[in-house]
């Protein structure tokens, strides 16, 4: 859960919005300050000032299907917050005392204020599901403060305006599709002319036959930014309500970076009357980022970069390292994010490159030409290691499924939850899962090829060729032994299949050392040669990311 920051909406903006909904608004009536203090005292809570002001002005509120809890007589609108808090505390063991339910979201889900004595003016609004309660720090954040939450909920409830905007957006999208087809006449089978960055380009995001969103964008050359003329999303049952918004947000930010502009994103009058879409603001708030603050019709470059980093969801240590490298003029956070979303590297591979390489900027940007032999060898080695480690990540995350007839099979998106962390000093990864893991590629196979659920284990990544293994493998075993002794966890060494081409006497010697030290060797099925061929392609693709 992100740390709260001041509200983006003012109390006057909220009051104005409520007045525009006057025919559909009901409230229990203003409450006295002493009544508010009494409920705080009885529940041992410290309500934020914006919620106290709401109770003082309205008590509780209902408008167009939105019901906000507050204070009032027993027959008042909504559930009194005292009753709601007590219900929550009785329903969940060890419930954080600071949570105050303010709206029922359906089923057993509630929007809650995450109150704290340190945040007297504003506090974040989070969502809790009583069917599967999470720790406070892991609860999804819905808004940075109560005032923002109420403003967004009431704005969404204005159905006629939303329908009008959607109809207009569909008409604009249809016109763009017709113009695009008439101008470029592109055919998937026959090919044809493709649009430039400065041409209007329609896109849609689908999963199988389900449309999650559509957008139309171009690079505005005069202002060196991305311009958006259509932003349409759909809420699909069984998916997160903001799933379509997140897909389009990731695309827009990636496109803003790829086009080579400032990463500023502007919206035309066809997109919610020229304002930053409310869905994008909600998504940004969920990730603890504020957008569209200074200019209502655009996302500034700084806001876009922060939003992009939040959506990429790098671990905290990795973010700090990338930010430090960016301050030093080396790696840009936006480039690292684009490398992930464009499919060049995974988050875990970026973590390896940034924390393990002395020249991460060169690897992520593909800066070194093959003619620069020594520098290119450095980049190739770290790219090779990231790819080999990525193969292990993929294997470990896949669940083992066996049919009734004993036939193994895979299911789409059936991935095991697994946590991994890379240590750049050891050049090793620490894995842990709440499920039992079957280990792959073990040399000197035994029956001990499973890691129990919850058991951490270490894997030293050593993407060496045969010559390097002859010189360094014995030392790697000693280092692995030291890591295992220090961590008191199972420890392994991951090497390419070049290991199998080592001299028999050396392999026998290594086998003896492995048995004695209880260190296990994982032999990746790929050779250095094939890994390097793939690594070279990744480096080449990195060199042509932006246009």
pLDDT digits (tens, 9 = 90+) for 123-150: 999 988 887 778 888 888 888 899 989 9
Length of the chain: 547
Which element (helix H / strand E) includes 54? helix 49-58
Question: Average pLDDT, whole number, for the chain?
Answer: 87
Strands of the sheet containing 66-68, edge to edge, are 25-27, 61-63, 66-68
Q: Which fold has domain 11-156?
A: SMI1/KNR4-like (3.40.1580)
For CATH 3.40.630, the residue range(s) in the chain are 159-313
**Would you place residue 4 in the very low, low, confident or very high pLDDT band (cuts 50, 70, 90)?**
very low
Mean per-residue pLDDT for 458-487? 94
For CATH 3.40.1580.10, the residue range(s) in the chain are 11-156
Residue 459 has pLDDT above 60, yes or no: yes
**Would you place residue 456 in the very low, low, confident or very high pLDDT band (cuts 50, 70, 90)?**
very high
- Confidence at residue 3, expressed as pLDDT on a 0 to 100 scale: 43
Which element (helix H / strand E) includes 522? strand 520-523
- Confidence at residue 91, expressed as pLDDT on a 0 to 100 scale: 80
Which three-class secondary structure state does DSSP give residue 430? strand
Residue 340 has pLDDT above 90, yes or no: yes
Residue 116 has pLDDT above 70, yes or no: yes
Mean per-residue pLDDT for 204-223? 90
Residue 532 has pLDDT above 60, yes or no: yes
- The region of weakest confidence among 232-246, 371-385, 491-505 is 232-246
**Would you place residue 354 in the very low, low, confident or very high pLDDT band (cuts 50, 70, 90)?**
very high
Cα 26 to chain centroid distance, Å, stands at: 38
The string of pLDDT tens digits covering residues 65-97 is 789 999 876 545 778 898 888 888 888 776 777
Q: Which fold has domain 159-313?
A: Aminopeptidase (3.40.630)
- In whole angstroms, give the CA distance from residue 72 to residue 69: 9
- Confidence at residue 212, expressed as pLDDT on a 0 to 100 scale: 92
- Joined together, the tokens standing for residue 294 give 């200074």
What number of CA atoms fall less than 13 Å from residue 190's CA on the CB side? 6
Mean per-residue pLDDT for 506-535? 93
- Confidence at residue 161, expressed as pLDDT on a 0 to 100 scale: 47
- Confidence at residue 159, expressed as pLDDT on a 0 to 100 scale: 47
Residue 160 has pLDDT above 50, yes or no: no
- Confidence at residue 332, expressed as pLDDT on a 0 to 100 scale: 87
Mean per-residue pLDDT for 409-435? 87
Q: Which residues pair with 267 in a beta bridge?
A: 228
DSSP per position, 101-120 = EEEEEETTEEEEEE--TT-S
Whose tokens are 């104005």? That residue is 16
Cβ(145)–Cβ(136) below 8 Å: no
DSSP per position, 219-284 = EETTTTEEEEEEEEE---TTS-TTHHHHHHHHHHHHHHHHTTS---EEE-TTTGGGSPPHHHHHHH
- In whole angstroms, give the CA distance from residue 396 to residue 117: 43
The string of pLDDT tens digits covering residues 174-202 is 888 888 887 887 776 777 778 889 899 99
Which three-class secondary structure state does DSSP give residue 159? helix
The string of pLDDT tens digits covering residues 386-421 is 999 999 999 999 887 777 777 776 666 678 889 999
């Amino acid at each position: 859960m992100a740390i709260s920051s001041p509200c983006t909406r003012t109390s006057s903006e909220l009051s104005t919005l409520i007045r525009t909904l006057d025919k559909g608004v009901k409230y229990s009536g203003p409450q006295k300050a002493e009544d508010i203090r009494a409920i705080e005292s009885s529940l041992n809570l410290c309500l934020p000032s914006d919620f106290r002001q709401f109770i003082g002005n309205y008590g509780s509120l209902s408008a167009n299907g939105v019901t906000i809890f507050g204070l009032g007589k027993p027959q008042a609108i909504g559930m009194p917050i005292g009753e709601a808090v007590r219900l929550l505390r009785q329903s969940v063991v060890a419930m954080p005392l600071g949570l105050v339910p303010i709206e029922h979201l359906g089923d057993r889900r509630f929007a809650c204020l995450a109150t704290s004595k340190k945040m007297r003016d504003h506090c974040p609004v989070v969502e809790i599901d009583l069917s599967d309660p999470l720790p406070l720090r892991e609860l999804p954040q819905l808004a940075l403060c109560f005032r923002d939450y109420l403003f967004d909920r009431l704005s969404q409830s204005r159905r006629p305006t939303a329908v009008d905007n959607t109809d207009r957006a569909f008409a604009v999208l249809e016109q763009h599709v017709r113009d695009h087809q008439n101008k470029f006449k592109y055919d998937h089978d026959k090919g044809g002319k493709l649009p430039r960055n400065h041409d209007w380009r329609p896109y849609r995001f689908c999963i199988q036959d389900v449309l999650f969103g559509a957008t139309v964008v171009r690079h505005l050359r005069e202002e060196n930014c991305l311009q958006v003329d259509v932003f349409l999303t759909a809420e699909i049952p069984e998916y997160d309500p903001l799933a379509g918004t997140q897909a389009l947000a990731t695309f827009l930010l990636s496109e803003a970076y790829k086009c080579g502009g400032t990463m500023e994103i502007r919206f035309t009058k066809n997109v919610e009357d020229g304002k930053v879409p409310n869905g994008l603001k909600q998504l940004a708030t969920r990730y603890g980022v504020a957008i569209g603050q200074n200019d209502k019709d655009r996302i500034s470059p700084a806001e876009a970069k922060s939003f992009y980093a939040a959506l990429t969801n790098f671990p905290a240590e990795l973010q700090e390292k990338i930010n430090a490298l960016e301050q030093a003029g080396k790696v840009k956070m936006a480039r690292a994010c684009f490398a992930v979303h464009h499919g060049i590297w995974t988050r875990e591979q970026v973590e390896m490159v940034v924390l393990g390489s002395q020249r991460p900027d060169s690897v992520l940007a593909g800066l070194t030409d093959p003619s620069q032999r020594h520098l290119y060898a450095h980049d190739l080695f770290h790219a090779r290691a990231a790819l080999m480690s990525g193969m292990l990540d993929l294997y470990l995350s896949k669940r083992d499924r066996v049919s009734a007839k004993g036939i193994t099979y895979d299911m789409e998106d059936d991935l095991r939850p697994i946590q991994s962390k890379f240590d750049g000093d050891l050049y090793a990864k620490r894995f842990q899962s709440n499920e039992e893991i079957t280990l792959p590629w073990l040399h000197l196979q035994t029956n001990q090829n499973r890691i129990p659920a919850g058991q951490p284990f270490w894997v030293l990544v050593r993407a060496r060729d045969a010559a390097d293994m002859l010189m360094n493998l014995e030392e790697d075993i000693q280092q692995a032994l030291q890591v295992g002794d220090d961590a008191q966890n199972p420890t392994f060494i991951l090497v390419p299949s070049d290991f199998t081409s080592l001299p028999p006497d050396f392999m026998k010697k290594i086998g003896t050392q492995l048995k004695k030290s209880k260190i296990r060797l994982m032999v990746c099925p790929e050779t250095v040669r094939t890994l390097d061929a793939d690594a070279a392609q990744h480096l080449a693709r990195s060199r042509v990311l932006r246009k």
